[in-house]
């Protein structure tokens, strides 16, 4: 689900804080101190940096309408976004942000198992605060390279035994075999972290009830189908216009070339900004967002069509 997208805002960096040896949090506010658009746990913003737009979960307090807080991992292999934040972004600088947008909303359930890897703790932290305030039954399994690399440990320690901190250098990999061995009715699993962790949790949850697992990726889902992509037809419901999307182009680019510009903050199937309703046809989801069985939406930046034709609500 994609809600709360409010266009682009120019915000000021008002504070930077080190949350671990490799995670820096950034606090943003309106330069005129105006209230910011509201958000719910699981939401993220698009952060505009020189030559990059990156998605970061909101980790602060949703009831604080005057600042947003995000946490940024320093990634040695980064293409520039995270290194810029760590090395150059400073208080007083103005940045453009898009959103907030929520592709990872908190579902109703009896029990919640949260699984975080590294900086994947960020979308889960506001969820945990909300679940705890509502006296819900929840647990967090939190893995990371080492304690020094794991953000927000002091805050999480306040929740006592509900939180299981498992640094790799002390405990090895998270024990998903025992945590997820038995599907549990009315338990939902929320996971965010590196691709290897998300894929492992997805594999372990294959026998769980449909809809029990919720994941959030901030990098593209692995795709190895480039050689098998086929052309398909796009039809715009409002005008009946038809466009052929060749195998080597995205639907987003084909629409853009025809002057139909959709929001496109990531162009990689992770942010949700290009979400478009499908009225007929079967989408082929290559994004990191949609359930593979969903037929009512498509992310035209990377996703395509299983059917010869896809009718869009455009």
The reply on whether position 112 binds ligand FES by CB under 6 A is no
| Number of residues forming the site for ligand FES (CB under 6 A) | 13
Please classify residue 90 by burial: count the beta carbons closer than 10 Å to its beta carbon, then call 0-12 exposed, 13-18 middle and 19+ buried: exposed
Q: Judge contact between 275 and 55, C-beta under 8 A.
A: no
Question: Of the ranges 173-181, 197-205, 207-215, 270-278, which one interacts with ligand FES (CB under 6 A)?
Answer: 270-278
Between 143 and 269, CB nearer to ligand FES: 269
Q: Which stretch binds ligand FES (CB under 6 A): 188-196, 218-226, 231-239, 268-276?
A: 268-276
CB of 103 to ligand FES, least distance (A): 9
Alpha-carbon separation of residue 279 from 110, 177, 283, 312, 314 (angstroms): 34, 40, 10, 6, 10
251, 245 Cβ separation under 8 angstroms: yes
Among 42, 123, 269, 283, the residue binding ligand FES under the rule CB under 6 A is: 269
Residue 301 binds ligand FES, judged by CB under 6 A: yes
Quick one: which of 5, 27, 216, 287 contacts ligand FES (CB under 6 A)?
287
Query: Is 114 among the residues that bind ligand FES (CB under 6 A)?
Result: no
| Beta strands in the chain, from DSSP E residues, in sequence order | 8-18, 23-29, 44-49, 52-57, 68-73, 94-101, 111-117, 137-144, 163-167, 187-192, 213-216, 232-236, 242-245, 276-280, 283-284, 297-298, 304-305, 309-312
Contacts of 123 (CB under 8 A, 6+ apart): 41, 42, 43, 44, 57, 58, 59, 104, 192, 216
Q: To the nearest whole angstrom, how small is the minimum distance from the Cβ of residue 205 to ligand FES?
A: 23
Q: Pick from 243, 223, 224, 225: which is nearest to 234 by CA?
A: 243
CB of 268 to ligand FES, least distance (A): 6
132-191 residues near ligand FES, rule: CB under 6 A: none
Nearer to ligand FES, 187 or 276 (CB): 276
106 versus 297: smaller Cβ distance to ligand FES: 297
Q: Contacting ligand FES (CB under 6 A), which of 43, 274, 297, 311?
A: 274
Q: Nearest approach, Cβ of 292 to ligand FES (angstroms)?
A: 15
151/234 with CB nearer ligand FES = 234
Q: What CA–CA distance (Å, rounded) separates 201 from 214?
A: 10
CB of 217 to ligand FES, least distance (A): 11
Stretch 228-267: interaction string toward ligand FES, x if CB under 6 A: ------------------------------------xxxx
Distance CA 303, CA 269 (A): 8
Instruction: Report the C-alpha gap between 201 and 117 in whole angstroms.
Output: 11
Q: Please tell me whether residue 273 binds ligand FES under the rule CB under 6 A.
A: yes
Residue 223: closest CA among 117, 302, 306? 302
Minimal distance, residue 65 CB to ligand FES, in Å: 26
- Of 213, 271, 284, 311, which lies in the binding site for ligand FES, with binding defined by CB under 6 A? 271
CB under 8 Å to 275, separation ≥6 — which residues?
A: 2, 289, 297, 298, 299
| By the rule CB under 6 A, 216 interacts with ligand FES | no
* Least spacing, CB of residue 269 vs ligand FES, in Å: 5
Query: Cα-atom radius of gyration of the chain, to the nearest Å?
Result: 20
User: In the structure encoding, which two tokens stand for residue 131, read together?
Assistant: 């679940």
Cβ atoms of residues 277 and 295 within 8 Å: no
Q: Which is nearer to ligand FES, 69 or 267 (CB)?
A: 267
Interface ranges with ligand FES (CB under 6 A): 264-267, 269-274, 287, 299, 301
């Amino acid at each position: 689900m994609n809600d709360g997208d409010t266009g682009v805002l120019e915000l000021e960096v008002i504070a930077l804080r080190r949350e671990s040896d490799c995670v820096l949090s950034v606090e943003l506010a309106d330069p005129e101190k105006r209230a910011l658009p509201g958000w719910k746990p699981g939401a993220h913003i698009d952060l505009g940096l020189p030559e990059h737009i990156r998605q970061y979960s909101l980790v602060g307090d949703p009831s604080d309408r005057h600042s947003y807080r995000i946490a940024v991992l320093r990634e040695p292999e980064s293409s520039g976004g995270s290194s810029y934040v760590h090395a150059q972004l400073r208080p007083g600088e103005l940045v453009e942000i898009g959103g907030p947008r929520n592709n990872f909303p908190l579902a109703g359930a009896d029990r919640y198992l949260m699984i975080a890897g590294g900086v994947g703790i960020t979308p889960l932290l506001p969820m945990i605060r909300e679940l705890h305030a509502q006296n819900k039954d929840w647990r967090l399994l939190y893995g990371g390279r080492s304690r020094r690399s794991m953000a927000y440990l002091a805050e999480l320690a306040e929740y006592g035994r509900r939180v299981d901190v498992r640094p790799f250098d002390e405990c090895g990999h998270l024990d998903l075999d025992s945590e997820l061995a038995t599907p549990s009715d009315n338990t939902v699993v929320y996971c965010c972290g590196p691709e290897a962790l998300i894929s492992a949790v997805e594999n372990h949850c294959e026998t769980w009830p449909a809809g029990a697992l919720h994941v959030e990726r901030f990098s593209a889902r692995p795709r190895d189908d480039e050689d098998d992509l086929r052309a398909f037809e796009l039809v715009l419901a409002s005008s009946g216009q038809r466009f052929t999307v060749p195998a080597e182009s995205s639907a987003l680019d084909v629409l853009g070339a025809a002057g139909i510009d959709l929001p496109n903050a990531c162009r990689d199937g992770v942010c949700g900004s290009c979400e478009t309703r499908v009225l007929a046809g079967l989408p082929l989801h290559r994004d990191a967002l949609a359930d593979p069985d969903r037929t009512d939406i498509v992310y035209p930046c990377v996703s395509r069509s299983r059917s010869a034709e896809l009718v869009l609500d455009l």
